Amino acid sequence: MDKARKRDFKIELFDQFARMGKALASGRRLELIELLAQKEHTVEDLARLSDMSVANTSQHLKILRSAQLVEVRRLGLYASYRLADERVFRLWQALRELGDSRIAEIDRVVNSFLTDRKSLKAISTEELKRRLKDRSVVVLDVRPPDEYRAGHIPGARSIPVAELKARLKELPRSREIVAYCRGPYCVLADEAVEWLRARGRNALRLEQGFPDWEAQGFPVEHVPQG
């Protein structure tokens, strides 16, 4: 292969890899990836969860699909989207972790919005797995019920934040409560822990989210579809 052909080969090859980078170059699309890491969603569901219009959501999904990061499944008149495979989540996870360690602005944003986070004790996925074996904690999944049904940490109880007040009696006072949601920047677990601690419960948050637990190969439970 002559020098010119080698150069053309390298240019075309790296341009193909760059398609993924271009698809990830949007905060809204990264948010969609995090939502799809929980379960399949229709365009309408994703629009509602991300506070975007259906048209904008569809356009972002089109870009992700063109880069082979998401797949679509037709359900009659509806289209359901999912991550192409588990490596897409790991790509987002690696980007998230690199950004957290290298970009100081991320820490500033987190501290500006999650002002009480430093006072909320956290637990790692490894520690939670260990403590599940001795049954010393109650695990609380505060994501929407459909995400819980699609997959959750074994033994976790599904109590969305909005239902905590009505269902507080379901949580024993004698055991520590670990709340988790979609990921390390999901505010639902923070809200649940803060609310529970204000009412005298010993509660802490999982440092990461359900997709991180699953990506580590830890056990997962599903609710059978009726």
CA–CA separation, 46 vs 32, rounded Å? 7
Which one of the listed residues 137, 181, 186, 193 is annotated catalytic?
A: 181
Angular region, 155: left φ>0, alpha ψ -120 to 50, beta rest: left
CA gap 142, 209 in Å, rounded: 11
Beta-carbon count within 10 A of 18 CB: 12
Q: Is 181 labeled as catalytic in the residue annotation?
A: yes
Across the beta sheet with 78-83, the strand order is 41-42, 78-83, 70-75
Residues belonging to the active site: 181
